[in-house]
Homo-oligomer: A and B are copies of this chain.
């Protein structure tokens, strides 16, 4: 028979089994945290009507889309989880209770040019809270609290959540009569870490911005100190602009609330140069960085927007949300050696049967399963050496060897494969196997 070469498309992540164990562990930490805070799961289709999905899109996004016809339908694969959420909420507006809190974890598709660390199919892990006409700023704080919880649980090193408010930026540039140049200025500010202050000054000059305006911009982005000091300095600028002052009020609100939540102040920081998506966010914006790995960039971003679903409905639906790009994050964490997958097995214990008394073996298995321990049984019809080799290849930490001798004595042999030590333990002691024998 002629064979087809089994290939996977470039730009599509397909992990080894042990890597997938770790990927799923991280994914579940994220999902469990979302659920803990009472977010509803949502699971929208991968395929949608093209006109629905592309109501807003344009430019790069539209070029990257997977779009095709089937029968007479013009179809596309979703390229994010926000547009499907907007569609869902607009469609079911009358049946949903607002604020509507939902999480969605799923694959999205973008036919980008493949390059190292970029994927055409990737997981997004999103939460959003959608209000009906209005939405308390407490939800901004809850989203920040969830980011804090997740990155503590992930245990991938020190992290900092950088927080800003878009009203402060807009109001500030408005007070300088620079509204029409906000986009270019923000783009420059975003590069300040890379190109330095003096180069930013030069480029601002190229935009025909006056020296005294440039000095005010530099003064603004140089504001430093503790979070409270930054807020005080912003206030002391005495800028007479409603938006600016509303932004300070919101930011102070958020900071005070995070303090009440006992979110450690080591893990968040007002960062006035954070802007995010230039035409979407209208209030709080945030990014999350790993302190020891600045090159990875933001691993979790989000913010507050005015209107989720204006392409579908006249209803005003403000929201706040955040997203973790898990496929890319996982790739980066592995590349940077922050997570290791060489001890990720599919089961905590593997039983190696060395006799045919399966009633005894299944009893042991049931006992362990009932204790919430995952148990693989090696049914290879081979000798102990081959079975050990199999357990090793599966990265199994603990094996239970059960032969006629053990059954006669009503015991099992528990071997720690990582450390090469073993104990013979009475079956009755298996009740405490988790506490006494299985170490983390």
Seen from chain A, the residues whose Cβ lies within 8 Å of a Cβ on chain B are 1, 3-9, 12-18, 20-21, 23-24, 35-49, 51-52, 55, 66-71, 73, 75, 77, 86-88, 90-92, 95-97, 99-102, 107, 109, 111, 120-121, 134, 136, 138-139, 142, 257, 260-262, 309-314, 346-347, 350, 358-359, 362, 366, 369, 374-377, 379-381, 390, 393-394
Q: Which residues of B contact A362 (CB under 8 A)?
A: 260-262
Q: Which residues of B contact A101 (CB under 8 A)?
A: 346, 376
Q: Which residues of B contact A3 (CB under 8 A)?
A: 311-314
Which listed residue (B35, B66, B75, B312) contacts A5, Cβ 8 A? B312
Give CA–CA (A111, B109) in the complex, Å.
19
**What's the minimum C-beta distance from A374 to chain B, rounded to whole angstroms?**
5
**What's the minimum C-beta distance from A123 to chain B, rounded to whole angstroms?**
9
Q: A348's closest neighbor in chain B, by CB?
A: B38
Which listed residue (B21, B37, B45, B134) contacts A40, Cβ 8 A? B21
Interface pair B6/A91, CB less than 8 Å apart: yes
Q: Which residues of B contact A42 (CB under 8 A)?
A: 17, 20
Interface pair B346/A39, CB less than 8 Å apart: yes
Give CA–CA (A260, B99) in the complex, Å.
53
Which listed residue (B73, B260, B313) contacts A9, Cβ 8 A? B73
Interface pair B38/A346, CB less than 8 Å apart: yes
**What's the minimum C-beta distance from A383 to chain B, rounded to whole angstroms?**
14
Interface pair A260/B48, CB less than 8 Å apart: no
Most buried by B among A6, A35, A42: A6
Q: Which residues of B contact A15 (CB under 8 A)?
A: 43
Most buried by B among A49, A100, A346, A369: A346
The verdict on A136 contacting B379 (CB below 8 Å), with A6-B313, A41-B20, A52-B7 known, is: yes
Q: Which residues of B contact A90 (CB under 8 A)?
A: 6
Interface pair A379/B139, CB less than 8 Å apart: yes
Q: Could you list 24 examples of A-B contacts with CB < 8 Å?
A: A1-B311, A3-B311, A6-B86, A6-B313, A9-B73, A13-B45, A14-B45, A17-B40, A17-B42, A17-B102, A37-B347, A38-B347, A38-B375, A46-B46, A46-B77, A47-B109, A47-B120, A66-B68, A67-B68, A71-B111, A136-B379, A260-B358, A260-B359, A262-B366
Give CA–CA (A101, B9) in the complex, Å.
24
Interface pair B375/A36, CB less than 8 Å apart: yes
Give CA–CA (A96, B102) in the complex, Å.
38
Give CA–CA (A47, B77) in the complex, Å.
10
Q: Which residues of B contact A366 (CB under 8 A)?
A: 262
Interface pair B379/A9, CB less than 8 Å apart: no
Q: A10's closest neighbor in chain B, by CB?
A: B73
Give CA–CA (A88, B12) in the complex, Å.
13
**What's the minimum C-beta distance from A8 to chain B, rounded to whole angstroms?**
6
Interface pair A75/B9, CB less than 8 Å apart: yes
Interface pair A7/B91, CB less than 8 Å apart: yes
Q: Which residues of B contact A70 (CB under 8 A)?
A: 66, 111
**What's the minimum C-beta distance from A41 to chain B, rounded to whole angstroms?**
5
Q: Which residues of B contact A309 (CB under 8 A)?
A: 6
Q: A69's closest neighbor in chain B, by CB?
A: B68
Give CA–CA (A55, B7) in the complex, Å.
12
Give CA–CA (A272, B414) in the complex, Å.
42
Interface pair B41/A21, CB less than 8 Å apart: yes
Interface pair A36/B380, CB less than 8 Å apart: no
Interface pair A6/B312, CB less than 8 Å apart: yes
10 new A-B contacts at CB < 8 Å, known A36-B375, A37-B347, A47-B121: A8-B45, A9-B48, A14-B44, A14-B45, A16-B95, A35-B346, A38-B375, A39-B346, A70-B111, A257-B358
Interface pair A51/B374, CB less than 8 Å apart: no
**What's the minimum C-beta distance from A88 to chain B, rounded to whole angstroms?**
7
**What's the minimum C-beta distance from A377 to chain B, rounded to whole angstroms?**
7
Q: A347's closest neighbor in chain B, by CB?
A: B38
Most buried by B among A12, A35, A134, A260: A260
Interface pair A45/B121, CB less than 8 Å apart: yes
Q: A48's closest neighbor in chain B, by CB?
A: B9
Q: Which residues of B contact A18 (CB under 8 A)?
A: 40
Q: Which residues of B contact A120 (CB under 8 A)?
A: 47
